[in-house]
Structure 1
Amino acid sequence: MTTMAQETSAPATARGAEIRRHELAAFLRSRRERIAPEQVGLPRGARRRTPGLRREEVAQLSAVGVTWYTWLEQARNIQVSVQVLDALARTLMLDASERAHLFRLAGATDPTPAANCPSVTPALREMLRALEPIPACIQNSRYDILAYNRTYARLLGDLDAVAPEDRNCMLLVYTNSDWRAAIVHLDATMRLMAARLRASLAGHLGEPAWKMLLKRLQTEAPEFRENWERYEVVGNRTKIKEFLNPYVGHLTLEHTDLWLGPDAGPRMVTYTPRNEETRQRLEKLYEMAQGS
């Protein structure tokens, strides 16, 4: 038996969803129109009348259908995946607040870690600080960097300058020019990390955040696609890393994973010096990082 309250709430819910769709459409249009073609590497052309980007350009840059994106700006009742929302957020150059607003309007949960992850406790952050000048960070099994100390922030460039949603070791190794330049054995590192990611994926098949990461890597990094198709699997292990740091030079470090629970999930990653020269250079790097 349907109660009067249920009959009243159903139309109210539908109206609320419709209002959000129209707000989402207006928000997308406003952000599309503020981006100059030159900002995304497109020619302006003499006959352009649309302020900012055209709908078809946003669709192309986000790897979605033009008709589908047009429906989205027309506030039609269609389902939007988190992968598409992530692609739109990057195409439209949304900042953290705008990205959160986009996901709220779409009624979706952003699976990308925010700048402040609630699972990283004050005690863990204090441990990261106490380890200085040893570079250390906290990562999850997807290689998202959830927290890090000052030396780690400058280990392979300037991590503070990277948007929180892009602070993922897989993305950085395959797409960030600073990280790629700092890794001495880049090809071997990329192949190894793809194999480790495949091993980790087995416990997270179908999860939106993992699907979103894989789609982005396959779209933006041809080298990842090549390594991923090898179907190699490698477990976690301690290893020696060599970096050419842009501030202090060559570093030889021992990578160690310190697991934060019984499962192969969140972990503290540390890089201890393998020789005295590296130790001294880490101390210098820490001093530089403190002053920046």
Structure 2
Amino acid sequence: MEIDRPALAAFLRRRRELLQPEDVGLPRGQRRRTSGLRREEVAELCHMSTDYYARLERERGPQPSQPMIASIAQGLHLSLDERNHLFRLAGHTPPVRGTGAVSEHISPGLLRILDRLDDTPAEVVTELGETLRQTPLGTALTGDATRYTGPARSIGYRWFTDPVTRELYAPEDHAFLSRMFASGLREASALRGPGSRAAHYAELLLARSDEFRRVWEKQEVGIHPHHVKHFIHPEVGALELHCQNLLDPDQSHRLLVYTAVPGSESHDRLRLLSVIGPQALR
């Protein structure tokens, strides 16, 4: 497939013009003349330079890579069909869709909700516990969980291979969390099949972790997360947070939102964490 520069540029311009600042969690400002988002705003959402994005809209520059197109699709809040169209315009085959594939493209609906939760810890995760996007307060609570690569992107994998992961959780919950992560991985492996990423993670953990092997041998399934989670934050201390989740069944993504009971000590500590900000955890 070859890149269709005129069609790509026209599609990007139109999608940018349709998005409003409030759609993506940005302030509108008082002197806004642009119809839709500015190029620099889209570039920031897509994690690229303004010059690079502007050249695409002007039918110039190199052919964007598949990861770059995926980033643009996410930044512009495209649907899966729109994302696939963008891939084709850029001269690439769209990512495979089907029961055996795990998509990392967050739906526009979940993104719109997440963009409005600036004052709340929240994150979008895959069925394997891979964090795709966090709110600023979500990053302050658990650290930047999007920075990991490879199998370490999954919190279940990190739980059994990186002792630092457990420091954020109350010790009395560790045994249950070990069973929960193993149970979830077993169910995902059965759902996605032997050649899936879930099955690969299980194989790696069986080779690396004695604890995982012991828990895995119990053949447990159906162990679901508790609605109340207990964190031990290095800056603000113990936090008892209620976790609400919104499922996107088409993508197998969950939006997790953490709140504290108003007037509780955890509520006060969560407010303090919002002042400290993302720098609280590195």
Query: TM-score, normalised on structure 1?
Result: 0.53
Equivalent pair of 2:140/2:279 in contact (CA under 8 Å): no
Selected match of 2:236 from 248, 257, 279:
248
1:216 aligns with 2:201: no
Q: How many residues align?
A: 179
Q: Deviations over 1:266-291 (max 9, x none)?
A: 11122221452212222222332356
The residue type paired with residue 205 of structure 1 is G
1:124 aligns with 2:113: no
Mapped to 1, the partners of 2:278 and 2:225 lie a distance apart of: 31
| 1:203 alignment partner in structure 2 | 191
Mapped to 1, the partners of 2:192 and 2:104 lie a distance apart of: 21
The residue type paired with residue 176 of structure 1 is D
The residue type paired with residue 257 of structure 2 is T
Mapped to 2, the partners of 1:287 and 1:160 lie a distance apart of: 22
Selected match of 2:138 from 130, 135, 152:
152
Could you say what secondary structure the match of 2:194 adopts?
coil
Selected match of 2:256 from 269, 274, 287:
269
* Displacement after TM superposition at 1:227 (Å): 0.7
| 2:248 alignment partner in structure 1 | 260
1:138 aligns with 2:149: no
Mapped to 2, the partners of 1:164 and 1:150 lie a distance apart of: 23
- Relative distance call for 1:274 and 1:286 in structure 2 (3 A) is same
Could you say what secondary structure the match of 1:155 adopts?
helix
Mapped to 1, the partners of 2:277 and 2:150 lie a distance apart of: 19
Mapped to 1, the partners of 2:139 and 2:110 lie a distance apart of: 16
- Relative distance call for 1:129 and 1:221 in structure 2 (3 A) is farther
Could you say what secondary structure the match of 1:257 adopts?
strand
* Displacement after TM superposition at 1:146 (Å): 1.7
| 2:218 alignment partner in structure 1 | 230
* Displacement after TM superposition at 1:124 (Å): 3.1
- Relative distance call for 1:235 and 1:256 in structure 2 (3 A) is farther
| 2:163 alignment partner in structure 1 | 177
| 1:282 alignment partner in structure 2 | 270
| 2:40 alignment partner in structure 1 | none
Q: What stretches of structure 1 of length at least 5 have no aligned partner?
A: 1-95, 98-108, 110-116
Mapped to 2, the partners of 1:274 and 1:201 lie a distance apart of: 36
Identity percentage over the alignment? 23
Q: Which structure's relative contact order is higher, taking Cα pairs within 8 Å and 6+ residues apart? A: 2
Deviating runs (4+, > 4 A) in structure 1?
none
Q: What stretches of structure 2 of length at least 5 have no aligned partner?
A: 1-66, 69-94, 96-102
Q: How does 1:54-93 map to 2 (within 5 A)?
A: none
- Relative distance call for 1:164 and 1:196 in structure 2 (3 A) is closer
